[in-house]
Amino acid sequence: MTDTFEMKPGHLQQGDLRLLRDGGPTLQLEEAAWAAVEQSAQLVFDVSHGGERVYGINTGFGSLANTSIPNERLRDLQRHIVLSHAAGVGEPLADHIVRLTLALKINALAQGFSGCRRATIEALIALYNADALPVIPSKGSVGASGDLAPLAHLSCALIGVGEVRLEGETLPADVALERLGMAPLLLEPKEGLALLNGTQVSTALAIDGLLRGAGNLAAATVAGAMCVDASLGADTPFDARISDVRGQPGQIAMARAYRDLLEGSAIRLSHEDCDHVQDPYSLRCQPQVMGACLDHLRFAAGVLLCEANAVTDNPLVFTAQGDVLSGGNFHAEPVAMVSDVIALALAEIGSLSERRIALLTDSRMSQLPPFLVQDSGVNSGFMIAQVTAAALASENKQRAAPASIDSLPTSANQEDHVSMATHAARRLAEMNDNLSDIIAIELLASAQGIDFRKPLETSVPLKNAHELVRGVADFWDQDRLMAPDIAGVTELVRGGAFGAMTPDLVFE
């Protein structure tokens, strides 16, 4: 990791998003970017003093857009919009989401289409670099006109209002600014609106959901391959010729991943000539189902990278033509729709994994001891672990219902169609939590099944996965407390231990 991340506004790459979310390097803006920022701010100043009525600069907001504001009240206008719009509720957003939101807001405003001064953007950069994170309630945005309430809470910190998390403490914003040697900002025309208008919160939540989803997809791929070996499944369905004639790129990539993971397995070779014809779909159709999930996650990655680099406040300032144009880039429909797509993929990955757990625990299907434990009857083994996986998979299916088809008019019907992007993206965190737990249960069950196949050995990659599981959870020789085993493997899944065994399929 480098000590400094130099941001070229509007040119973030996929790898930058994870880095900016997790923090570490000092963020600085490319020096060449400041000229556009200063020209944009100057045009807003000129317009605000020129007598022409321009939305967001010298008018009210939303349905009050036809109300003219006199010059001596323009600063009041910007401060008031920040204060009044900070109406969020619910638990605060996680630190890593706020950190990424700050970075995305800097990236948008620094492109020079928003009219913000250099001092305002530098204040955001200072907060990011100090890891001084505004406390942002998680609920209260409908995803148009942007993430108004949550971004207003972020903006409050700049004017010394609200709370900020700094060095493990939650402080009044003015106290945090003083500790950082910063003074509260006096917002100039359009700055308040530019700060709280935009899709950065929804986008940060969706990007986090995507990054975690990509890790879960990789871990589920390892778990699925382990299950194939543990249940004496065939590797014929992963033959490249099958996927090639269909031509779906995700399926082709996933079939290759399963082939690579199973290569050299003595368990597989032991039943190569058996008379078993076909495996259940949860084994046989993994390339097809997981491939579709992969394709959709890749699609979402492209949309979200575009949105991460987008300018989404309103109105927009075009200095080359001297125009300030009112449009609708704040409408977060792209983020809402791809959040729905990600949710569908997460639900399906979990659904398939749960079915494989059920297969392993059913001795008629897996040719393993009932519920993966000797002396079953006295021991219940993985019986209720499978029930837990079923509960989580069902919950994720319910959460996957599309959010983007919903809309409720706001602002006296001026904002009469909204995206619901924020909660569409926010639910992805809990869905990923559920999915990690499902995958952990499958990894435990598959490791148990592979142990029952001894002295036959699985492939080298899957032996490595097995060793990771056994590093936190011993072989299940008789019933014991199950929850710590699940928690231990879940921690490995969330930390990326199993994902490292496959290529980065989503972002390759």
> What's the CA gap between 17 and 11, in Å, rounded?
11
In the numeric block, which tokens belong to residue 324?
């300030």
Q: Which conformational region is residue 131 in: left (phi greater than 0), alpha (psi within -120 to 50 degrees), or beta?
A: left
φ, ψ dihedrals at 15, nearest 5°: -65, -25
Q: Within its chain, how far is the Cα of 373 from the centroid?
A: 37
CA atoms within 13 A on the CB side of 484: 9
- What 8-state DSSP symbol labels residue 314? S
Angstrom CA distances, 294 to 176, 220, 313, 442, stand at 43, 12, 31, 20
> What's the CA gap between 177 and 105, in Å, rounded?
19
Angstrom CA distances, 410 to 79, 141, 377, 378, stand at 22, 11, 59, 60
Residues 144 and 330: beta-carbon distance below 8 Å: yes
Query: Considering only CA atoms, which of 387, 382, 401, 491 is closest in space to residue 440?
Result: 491
| DSSP states along 401-427 | S-STT----BTTTTB-----HHHHHHH
In the numeric block, which tokens belong to residue 139?
């609920």
Catalytic (active site) residue 55: yes
DSSP, collapsed to helix, strand or coil, labels residue 438 as helix
CB within 8 A of 394, min separation 6: which ones? none
Beta bridge partners of 316: 325
Angstrom CA distances, 36 to 30, 41, 114, 117, 189, stand at 12, 9, 10, 10, 17
> What's the CA gap between 370 and 360, in Å, rounded?
9
- What 8-state DSSP symbol labels residue 111? T
CA atoms within 13 A on the CB side of 227: 32
Q: Which residues are catalytic?
A: 55
